[in-house]
Chain A
């Protein structure tokens, strides 16, 4: 009898509603801040890294969207801009750098080699897509992509953060900020 009683649908009380609303509000505010201030860690290998430089420079100007290249350690980054072929030896270093970042953290995969292996998809020594080793939020195709596409990716990521559609939340690898 007890169990049945517990399973019965009941309307939430006023306290619960206030609690839920407050939680929602705090989450919205946090997501607003997170989406507007994405400090990238530039994990640039190969030619895509050359395109990453104009992303922060005059013409494209990443700083407009709050993407500030603080040039600092993974501890202060929110976003890892991962580009180029990731060899199997590099994969561990990449994952190491990724694990150093405090959550919430986002991943943007840059370039064909990074998304799927590209030219080297059949190689014995390259990872065919970094989504095999870490959850990727946004992919930037191209070989190499234009700097404007980086800006587009950041805008898409902003949208995803606002709608709570980040990979980390979806696949439940590490749960909600408990890693």
Chain B
């Protein structure tokens, strides 16, 4: 767990361990979302890839972003958890540090509407460009309008 202590030592007040994390799969909670890029820069010294970026919708206020890093050499897994506001879902992009963050961030933008500042190509990845709404938000409802939407100008 040396790397954990090293990372925490660099950012003394903003990072804290979350209960239930074990030796190989540790979870750190990042309190200040503006520091995400600097933390990830530090994480890059110990981990190779970002293999998952999960977003969890916690309805009243919060989107919980989980950046999951992994190391080929030690097989450790580190999750950095950030809470951002639901109304103003904006966070710095880390796609310049981790290449795989490119598509993950686009997916999160596509399905949740979280905006990543500094992303070079932030557009929808799974759904059509002009699709209305963000489907994985909890307040999204599958109405008839959504079901019948084709985005095509059909005349018959």
Contacts and interface: CB of A to CB of B under 8 A. Distances in A.
B72 interface: no
Contacts, number: 41
A132 interface: yes
A127 interface: yes
A171 B133 CA distance: 34
A92 B129 CA distance: 12
Contacts of A133: 150, 152, 154
Which of A88, A91, A92, A95 lies at the interface centre, i.e. has the most chain B CB atoms within 10 A of its CB?
A88
A173 B127 contact: no
Given A171-B156, A173-B156, A92 B151 contact: yes
Contacts of B131: 88, 125
Given A122-B142, A125-B127, A88 B150 contact: yes
Contacts of A127: 150
**Interface size range on B against A:** 10 to 19
A89 B150 contact: no
Given A125-B135, A133-B154, A89 B146 contact: no
Interface residues of A, number: 16
Nearest to A123: B142
A88 to B, nearest CB: 6
A124 interface: yes
Contact of A95 (B126, B148, B152): B152
Given A124-B142, A173-B156, A91 B127 contact: no
Contacts of A91: 150-152
B118 interface: no
Contacts of A89: 126-128
Per CB-CB distance, the 7 closest pairs between chain A and chain B, nearest first, are: A173-B156, A89-B128, A124-B135, A124-B142, A124-B146, A88-B128, A91-B150
Given A95-B152, A124-B142, A124-B147, 19 more contacts: A88-B127, A88-B128, A88-B150, A88-B151, A91-B150, A91-B151, A91-B152, A92-B152, A123-B142, A124-B133, A124-B135, A125-B126, A125-B131, A127-B150, A128-B147, A128-B148, A132-B150, A171-B156, A173-B155
30 contacts: A88-B127, A88-B128, A88-B149, A88-B150, A91-B150, A91-B152, A92-B151, A92-B152, A95-B152, A122-B142, A122-B147, A123-B142, A124-B133, A124-B135, A124-B140, A124-B142, A124-B146, A125-B126, A125-B127, A125-B131, A125-B135, A127-B150, A128-B147, A128-B148, A132-B148, A132-B150, A133-B150, A133-B154, A171-B156, A173-B156
